[in-house]
Amino acid sequence: MLIMFGLLPDTIIENLLIMNKHKYTVELLYHFTCGNCHLWWSWASTPTQVKNYPLSLPEDEPIFCPHCGTKNTMKVKEGFEDE
Ligand SMILES: [Zn+2]
């Protein structure tokens, strides 16, 4: 919707700006590298909140490599996190 801001009183413009704020969502993209075949894949997740959302995945739950089928648990790649 195109709004001709110059033709409206400031209070109406302020209300329109509040009502028509730009909106955003967040998508997390995890990258995995198989410990067996060393090929990689990605997995996207949509968090349910934007503040204080836990980014780590459960390291005790095994997942399957979509390339070779190896089932294993995972850990954060060395060097990714600040020490
Ligand atoms: Zn694999």
Task: Supply the DSSP symbol for 59.
Answer: T
Give residue 55 CA to ligand 1 midpoint distance, Å.
23
Contacts 24+ apart (CB under 8 A), 39-48: 39/65, 39/67, 39/68, 41/65, 41/66, 41/67
Give residue 64 CA to ligand 1 midpoint distance, Å.
8
Give residue 67 CA to ligand 1 midpoint distance, Å.
5
Classify residue 20: in a domain, yes or no: no
Query: Which pLDDT score is estimated for 1?
Result: 55
For the chain, list residues with pLDDT below 50.
Answer: none
- Domain residues for the domain of 68 are 26-77
Classify residue 30: in a domain, yes or no: yes
Which pTM was predicted? 0.73
Q: How many domains does the chain have?
A: 1
Residue 21 corresponds to which tokens in the numbers above?
């704020």
Classify residue 72: in a domain, yes or no: yes
